[in-house]
C-alpha cells in the first residue's frame, strides 16, 4: 500500500502497532503494521514512495521491496542475520528487511565484538610504524604513501570493509521495527548500481574507519581521509531515504587526535550520492554531529544528466559542511531546517555548496543563525554553480542568501537554473513553522508516534 502524502503535518498522524499475528494472518509475513488515524491501516514495511514526492517518484517511482512474498520478509537483529537477509547484491528478488534493535557491524558471525586491532592482526600494520614511514619531514609531501606500511594499512582496511559494508540489492526495503531503537552502528549500507531501494526509520551511528589514509597532497597541508559513509549511493537509482537519524555519536570529531598537524579523521560522509546516482528523495531525516554530511557528485566530472536529488523536511544540526555539497545535477532543497549553532565541537563552515555547474533550487527553508553568525557564510560555491529559489528565512526573516554570499565572495553563485521542480509533494510555501514542526516529525523513531 502506498504511504499517504506528507501534505499535512506529521503531528496530525497518529499511529499504533498492530500485532504481528494479525499481519501474518493477512498473508503478508512478519511485516510491521501501523495504524494511521486519518487513512486507516498502513503497512510500514510495504509502504512505497508517494506520488510526486521528489525525484525518486519520477518514472516508475520507488517501491522498494513492497512486492516481496512472505518468504522474502525478514526480521533481523544481528550482523550475521542482516548479511544473510541481504543475500547476493545481484539478486533483484523483492525483499523486505526489518531491523529490530541496534545492529553492531563490528562483530563477527557469532556476535563477538571486533576491534581495530582484530582487523589489523596479521597484516603487519601499526599506526606508529605508519606515522614513522610517512612523516612529511622525511617522506615529503609530493606523493601518496606507498610501500610496506601503506600496503599493510590497505589490507587492514579491506578486512574491516568486508565486515562492516552491507551491499543492498535492487528492489529492497530496509526499515527499522518501530519501538526498538532500530539502527546500525559502525556500518555502511552500500547501494551500488541497483535500482529501487527504500531505507527508513533507522539510526546510523559511529561509522568509523580504523585505518584512515594520509594524503599529503590533499589541500595545502595534507589530510587524513576515511573510507566509509553511513549510507552510500553509487550509480544507484530510485532511492528513498526517509525518517532516519545520522550521527557520529558516541565518538565526536573533537576527540580525534592530530598527526602531521592534521585531524586524524575517522568519519567520512553521512549520506553520499555519487557515481551517476539518480532519482533520489531524502526526506524527514536528522543529520547531526557530523562534518562532511552529504556529497552529491563524486567529482567535477561525475555524470551529466543524472544526480537528480530532492532533499526536503530534514533537520541539519551540529553539522560542519555539505548540506549538501552539490555537483552537476538538478537538486531541489525545500522545507529544511538548518541550525548553524556549534554543537559538540562541530562548528559550521557552510550549509549548501553549489559547484561544477550544479543546478540547485533552494526554497522555503529556515536557517537558525546564532549571534555573531554571518549570513554570507551559509552558502558556498566555485563560481560555476547556481542557487535559485525564494522564501528562505534566516531567524524568521526572509533573506536573499545568494545576494549575501555574492556580496562577500569573488566566485559568484549564479541565480538562475535550467529546470523547474514539479515533483514537490508536501511543499510548504512558508518556512516559519519548520523549526517546531520538524523537531517532532523527523528522524528515526517518529513513525511509532501514537
Calpha distance 375→369 (Å, rounded): 8
Question: Is residue 45 reached through a cis peptide bond, with omega within 30 degrees of 0 on the bond before it?
Answer: no
Calpha distance 361→30 (Å, rounded): 41
CB 378 within 8 A of CB 352: yes
> β-strands 188-192, 17-18: how paired?
unpaired
Calpha distance 277→238 (Å, rounded): 9
Catalytic residue, candidates 13, 79, 322, 355: 322
Neighbours of 134 (CB within 10 A): 25
Residue 255 grid coordinates = 576527540
- Please choose, from the candidates 266, 262, 232, the residue with its C-alpha nearest in 3D space to the C-alpha of residue 250: 266
CB 283 within 8 A of CB 313: yes
**H or E segment at 21?**
helix 20-25
Calpha distance 332→70 (Å, rounded): 37
> β-strands 379-381, 286-292: how paired?
unpaired
Neighbours of 334 (CB within 10 A): 25
What is the distance in angstroms between the CA of the first residue and the CA of the last residue of the chain? 20
Residue 233 grid coordinates = 549511493
User: 322 catalytic, yes or no?
Assistant: yes
Q: Any bridge partners for residue 192, and if so which? A: 234
The DSSP line for 232-292 is: EEES-EEEEEES-EEE-TTS-GGG--EETTEE------SEEEETT-EEEEEES-EEEEEEE
Phi, psi of 243 (to 5 degrees): 55, 45
- Catalytic (active-site) positions: 322
Amino acid at each position: 500500500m502506498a504511504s499517504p502524502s506528507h501534505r499535512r503535518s506529521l503531528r496530525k498522524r497518529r499511529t499504533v502497532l498492530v500485532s504481528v499475528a494479525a499481519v501474518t494472518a493477512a498473508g503478508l509475513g512478519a511485516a510491521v503494521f501501523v495504524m494511521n488515524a486519518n487513512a486507516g491501516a498502513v503497512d510500514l514495511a510495504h509502504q512505497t514512495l508517494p506520488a510526486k514526492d521528489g525525484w525518486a517518484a519520477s518514472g516508475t517511482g520507488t517501491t522498494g521491496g513492497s512486492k516481496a512474498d512472505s518468504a522474502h520478509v525478514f526480521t533481523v537483529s544481528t550482523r550475521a542475520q542482516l548479511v544473510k537477509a541481504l543475500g547476493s547484491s545481484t539478486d533483484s528478488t523483492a525483499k523486505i528487511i526489518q531491523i529490530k534493535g541496534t545492529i553492531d557491524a563490528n562483530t563477527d558471525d557469532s556476535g563477538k565484538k571486533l576491534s581495530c586491532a582484530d582487523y589489523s592482526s596479521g597484516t603487519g600494520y601499526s599506526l606508529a610504524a605508519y606515522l614513522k614511514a610517512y612523516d612529511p619531514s622525511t617522506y615529503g609531501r609530493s606523493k601518496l604513501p606507498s610501500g610496506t606500511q601503506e600496503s599493510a594499512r590497505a589490507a587492514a582496511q579491506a578486512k574491516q570493509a568486508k565486515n562492516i559494508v552491507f551491499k543492498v540489492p535492487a528492489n529492497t526495503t530496509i526499515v527499522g521495527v518501530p519501538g526498538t531503537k532500530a539502527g546500525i552502528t559502525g556500518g555502511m549500507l552500500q547501494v551500488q548500481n541497483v535500482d529501487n531501494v527504500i531505507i527508513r526509520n533507522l539510526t546510523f551511528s559511529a561509522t568509523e574507519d580504523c585505518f584512515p589514509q594520509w594524503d599529503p597532497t590533499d589541500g595545502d597541508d595534507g589530510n587524513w581521509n576515511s573510507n566509509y559513509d553511513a549510507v552510500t549511493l553509487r550509480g544507484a537509482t530510485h532511492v528513498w531515504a526517509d525518517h532516519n537519524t545520522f550521527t557520529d555519536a558516541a565518538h565526536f570529531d573533537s576527540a580525534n587526535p592530530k598527526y602531521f598537524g592534521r585531524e586524524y579523521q575517522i568519519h567520512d560522509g553521512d549520506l553520499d550520492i555519487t557515481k551517476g546516482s539518480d532519482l533520489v528523495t531524502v526526506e524527514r531525516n536528522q543529520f547531526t554531529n557530523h562534518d562532511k554530511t552529504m556529497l552529491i557528485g563524486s567529482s567535477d566530472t561525475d555524470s551529466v544528466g543524472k544526480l537528480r536529488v530532492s532533499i526536503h523536511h530534514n533537520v541539519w544540526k551540529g553539522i560542519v559542511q555539505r548540506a549538501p555539497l552539490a555537483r552537476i545535477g538538478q537538486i531541489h532543497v525545500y522545507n529544511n531546517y538548518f541550525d548553524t549553532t556549534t554543537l559538540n565541537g562541530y562548528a559550521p563552515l557552510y550549509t549548501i555548496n553549489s559547484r561544477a555547474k550544479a543546478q540547485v533550487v533552494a526554497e522555503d527553508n529556515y536557517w537558525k543563525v546564532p549571534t555573531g553568525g554571518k549570513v554570507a557564510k551559509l552558502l558556498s560555491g566555485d563560481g560555476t554553480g547556481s542557487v535559485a529559489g525564494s522564501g528562505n528565512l534566516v531567524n524568521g526573516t526572509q533573506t536573499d542568501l545568494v545576494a549575501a554570499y555574492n556580496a562577500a565572495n569573488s566566485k559568484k553563485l549564479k541565480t538562475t537554473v535550467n529546470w523547474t521542480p514539479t515533483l514537490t509533494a508536501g511543499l510548504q510555501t512558508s518556512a516559519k513553522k519548520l523549526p517546531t514542526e520538524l523537531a517532532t516529525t523527523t528522524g528515526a523513531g517518529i513513525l511509532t508516534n501514537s
